[in-house]
Chains A and B, each alone.
Chain A
Amino acid sequence: MRPPFAYHRPATLAEACGLLAADPRAVAMAGGTDLMVHLRQPWRGRGPSAVVSLRRLDDLQRIDATDDALRLGACVNLSTVIDHPLIQRAYPVLPRAARYMGSPAIRNLATVGGNLCNASPAADLPPVLLVLDAEVGIAGGGAPRRLALAEFFRGPGRSALMPGELLAWIEIPRRAADWVVRYERLDVRRAMDIAIAGAALALRLEGSRVVDARIALCAVAPTPCRVPEAERALIDGRLDEAGIGRAARLARQAARPIDDVRASAPYRMAMVETLVRRGLDEIAHGRRRAA
């Protein structure tokens, strides 16, 4: 049971943004897998005045590949992320991350954009997209704007969206397809769970020399975050035991987790080190972990 609200199903992105801008208490809904849960316990019983459903916005479900980038519409659902041949080929880490999330029924509803806009510190797609150097496109009353994903997350549950704005697409640059990318998270059961800690790694290698590196973590800070100190430690170095160990320790030190019902802060920090070390080890030895 949810508190009463009006319902709109706009036909265009402009119409959707207009509805949101006109009514500050209206909310946008894509798959609903986060929002419909939040609405069960609205603060003081007051829910939104209206839900603006994005279901009819076909543009938000497009997947387009150009020479420069792969662009995912914000309403592409997680099942599509797993099944789509373009994504499987170019960025297999995305289906891997998506498989951690929910269940088949949830993935048929949940969207990439929804996962980003919900801005949970523990969400799985953000660290992966961060190491892929993703950018997002935001539509609103004014001109559409492009933002580096790192600037999109402002705090737990808070994104950079202003009133009247909608996340329209997520773009992954073509150069990221040449990197070696890994994502692993720690959880307690094999489905329907949330990360206790997660680490995404992306390396550009020449032989065994690390030419460039990206490391991003989830569930260990108020937002998903890169770890520049660890990245710098890897760049121009070799992927040997000492280098991997140093990077993993730096990642651990950068983590600022809290204690909560799922895990304690010290354990999360220890797991950051484990996940980063393990991911780098796999890359170094060319091993692929069982999905």
Chain B
Amino acid sequence: MSGSAARPFRVIGTRVAKLDAVEKVTGTVQYLPDLAMPGMVCGKILRTSVPHARIRRIDTRRAEALPGVLGVVTGSNVEQRPFGYAKDHLALKPDVVRCIRDEVAAVAAETDAIADEACRLIEVDYEALPAVFDPVDAMRPEAPQIHAQFPGNLVNFSYKFNAGDVDRAFREADVVVEGTYTLPYVTTACLGTMAAIAAWDPRGTLTMWSTTQIPFLYQRDLAEALGISGDRIRVLQPPVGGNFGRGLDLYPIDIIAALLARHVGRPVKIVFDRDEEFLASPTREPCVFTLRTAARADGTLLARDARVVIDNGAYVSWGSTTPYVMMTTLAGFYRCPAIRFDTAIVYTNNPYSGSMRGYGNLESTFAVEAQMDDLAERLGLDRLQIRRLNANRPGDRTPQGLRITTCALTECFDAVARDVARPIDYGPRPGWMRGVGYAGMFHVGGGARVYRSDGCGAIVKLDDFGKVTLVTGASEIGQGSETVLAMIVAEELGIPFGRVDVVNSDTAVKPWDVGVHASRTTFIAGNAALLAARDVKRQLLDLGALQLDEPVEALEVDDGFVVVRAAPQRRIAYDRVVRAGHFREGGRILIGQAFYDPPTQMLDKDFRGNVSVTYGFAAQAALVEVEEATGKIEVVRVASAHDVGRALNPVGCEGQIEGGIHMGLGYCLTEELKLREGRVLNPGFLDYKLLTAPDMPEILITLIETVDEAGPFGAKGLGEAGTIPISAAVANAVKDAVGVRLTALPMTPERVYQALRERDSGSPPRRPHRAPRRRASS
């Protein structure tokens, strides 16, 4: 699937501006909150004030009577069906609320101010129920039951994987290391909040404008939740202010917007404000990851045994399926023959998690890479050497049956080792200790068959003006997918990049795609676009052959012309070829199409199968400084090397890596959504701390091109890779700098300080810091 690679590329590998860059720098781009339509009204959701309670009474009369209010919906005056991965969720809660996010009513009004006021006028009597906020507590027999149909508060997903004889490996090992790692709630914190507009037409067809990244699954799930057929929903995706996995499910906002719009007979727009975004947008799943690793004296890995306890929150969303990916790393990152993996996914009265960039891989990589360093220390081995020794290699099959084809993991480590060690012209300041840490990762890079289909469709149209339009199922979520897809089409058709338009935002027009996730879009949608472009190219050459009176084999495309290879002065521009084909008797227009669904398998009931065509690898090295007196960590430099197959869009590759590092460093150092008794204590950018421009380290990127023959022009997926290993690399660097191993994130100055004082006093490490008991200050 590599594409025509005989000559150097014209478009692939060049530095281009994103297709929508001009709109974004001039402020002409229209995001969902910018959209308005005749008759549109404002929707606002009323949420519970108690995390776990029975609703005794809701009285909406005063709200309904407020001038400017068009209608109020509650769980008892609308028709709704359960939705969500486990169908344990209703959009408007009719009788029980299970977390502080829960939606009990919604108002449609002429203005935001009136909708806000109306929400305040809705009277709700809650009868508080005993609640549980810790997964360990929730698993006890006496714990309050959160869903009657799931006794023991265990989500009934089982992620049990076994390979080899783990117990024997541990008995016979020369060394065993163990640890427990505590990973927190963080959230995507997109600059653009979640939003939805719903509009029903007189025929009963619903149009949704959404921030979703899975428009076709959303279409199907929303239809089910509303009790209508999928063909009566059309989903539009305006430009979105970030996603990072947030839009990977159907959420109450979507269903509520549709219910409100149906109820009041007007288009309804709901936009989360910032507090609501922190409260109600899905998080990364918090978990406690217990791992043991066994090895030989020479550093060869023998076995891993892991158990993960996940705080699922009140309902099941995609967060509950992250063990798929945790397992993949646990069982496949570095060669390790014997594996035991198990999880407990536990309902609590906390907000529920969804998918977030990296999707479980950050957590498992954090544990795995901590123990690679621990092993190196115990065995007296070089930390890079133990990694090279166990590194995955081309041709490997992991215990799950994942087939590694291209793999430059070792080269990635070599590159970051070299780059992190580049001279720095200043030493650490007095009181600061320097250290370096390494971590690698592997992740799906050629799609991910977690659903029955992992396919994406593409249509390529070549028109009378020689303009090419790619209609792709793949969504643009700000990452630049439409840009790289346009590059692929431009390269294949031999035209400048600026001649390709991309259409991708309307389910009524674009062909099916499962959605943007698992770093799959460049690979899957790219292959689809490439195949569709080839289809159009064939048609173009057929027409050109007629017009040039030459056999097709004698022709090629070059810079917008159909050319006779042996006599290149004989050429016709595309627009002429197309017009000649169009405006004659029996005329035809040129449209190519393809649906690419890769040759992979879903995991079977034993979690075996090759879910992706190929896999991406990366390594990072972090140079940090730690201040002994305060515990502050400063990351001075990050070297990040990636086996990308081929860097189709280098600007885009770098952008994804740089942004990924920012997100990963936040996870590692400063970001945490703090909950106490199920309530979010820091729903704002002041106390949910994203790193600012001065906080960022120097970043040195290496892109390694292994040219994977399965990918479009050799490319593999990359979108999540920058985020995955960085926390582990920094934790390892801190260990190198000051000799303390932090096992809980984020590594705040306070936590580091605590660990340093324990190191000095020789006392054993304490349990991870929990949310403080006393009330928060102003």
A–B contact (CB under 8 angstroms): yes
Contact (Cβ within 8 A) A1 B112: yes
Contact (Cβ within 8 A) B750 A264: yes
Per a CB cutoff under 8 Å, which of B275, B674, B681, B691 touches A189?
B691
Contact (Cβ within 8 A) A271 B695: no
Say if the beta carbon of A237 comes within 8 Å of chain B. no
CB pairs A–B below 8 angstroms (8 shown): A1-B116, A156-B777, A186-B632, A190-B692, A260-B772, A260-B774, A261-B772, A290-B429
A interface, size bucket: 20 to 34
Stretch at the interface among A76-84, A170-178, A191-199: A191-199
Contact (Cβ within 8 A) B773 A259: yes
Given A1-B116, A262-B687, A274-B630, A188 contacting B749 (CB threshold 8 A): yes
The majority secondary structure among interface residues of chain A is loop
Chain A residues near B754 (CB-CB < 8 A): 267
Task: How many A-B residue pairs have C-beta atoms within 8 angstroms? Tell me.
Answer: 69
Q: CB-CB contacts of B736-778 with A at 8 A, as 1s and 0s?
A: 0000000000001110011000000000000001001110111
Say if the beta carbon of A144 comes within 8 Å of chain B. no
Chain A residue at minimal CB-CB distance from B629: A274
Contact (Cβ within 8 A) B776 A260: yes
Q: What's the least CB distance linking B72 to chain A, in Å?
A: 17
Given contacts A41-B275, A186-B749, A191-B692, 6 further A-B contacts (CB under 8 A): A45-B117, A156-B777, A189-B670, A189-B689, A260-B772, A267-B754
Contact (Cβ within 8 A) A188 B748: yes
Contact (Cβ within 8 A) B120 A45: yes
Say if the beta carbon of A113 comes within 8 Å of chain B. no
CA distance A156 to B776 in the complex (A): 12
Q: What's the least CB distance linking B426 to chain A, in Å?
A: 11
Given A191-B692, A193-B689, A261-B682, A156 contacting B772 (CB threshold 8 A): no
Chain A residues near B687 (CB-CB < 8 A): 261-262
Contact (Cβ within 8 A) B777 A260: yes
Given A45-B117, A190-B694, A259-B772, A270 contacting B753 (CB threshold 8 A): yes
Size of B's binding interface in residues, CB under 8 A: 37
Q: CB-CB contacts of A258-276 with B at 8 A, as 1s and 0s?
A: 1111111001001100100
Q: CB-CB contacts of B656-692 with A at 8 A, as 1s and 0s?
A: 0000000000000110001000000110011101011
Say if the beta carbon of A120 comes within 8 Å of chain B. yes
Say if the beta carbon of B113 comes within 8 Å of chain A. yes
Chain B residues near A290 (CB-CB < 8 A): 429
CA distance A264 to B774 in the complex (A): 10
Chain A residue at minimal CB-CB distance from B666: A189
* 5 nearest A-B pairs in the assembled complex, by CB-CB distance: A259-B772, A190-B694, A260-B777, A267-B750, A191-B692
Chain B residue at minimal CB-CB distance from A278: B629
Chain A residues near B686 (CB-CB < 8 A): 192, 194
Chain A residues near B273 (CB-CB < 8 A): 1
Q: CB-CB contacts of A120-157 with B at 8 A, as 1s and 0s?
A: 11000000000000000000000000000000000011
CA distance A215 to B719 in the complex (A): 51
CA distance A82 to B727 in the complex (A): 36
CA distance A260 to B778 in the complex (A): 9
Chain B residues near A258 (CB-CB < 8 A): 774, 777
Chain B residues near A260 (CB-CB < 8 A): 772, 774, 776-777
Chain A residues near B694 (CB-CB < 8 A): 190-191
Chain A residue at minimal CB-CB distance from B634: A190
Q: CB-CB contacts of A22-60 with B at 8 A, as 1s and 0s?
A: 000000000000000000010001000000000000000
Given A270-B753, A274-B629, A190 contacting B695 (CB threshold 8 A): yes
CA distance A4 to B116 in the complex (A): 12
Q: What's the least CB distance linking B769 to chain A, in Å?
A: 8
Chain A residues near B670 (CB-CB < 8 A): 188-189
CA distance A157 to B769 in the complex (A): 29
CA distance A45 to B691 in the complex (A): 32
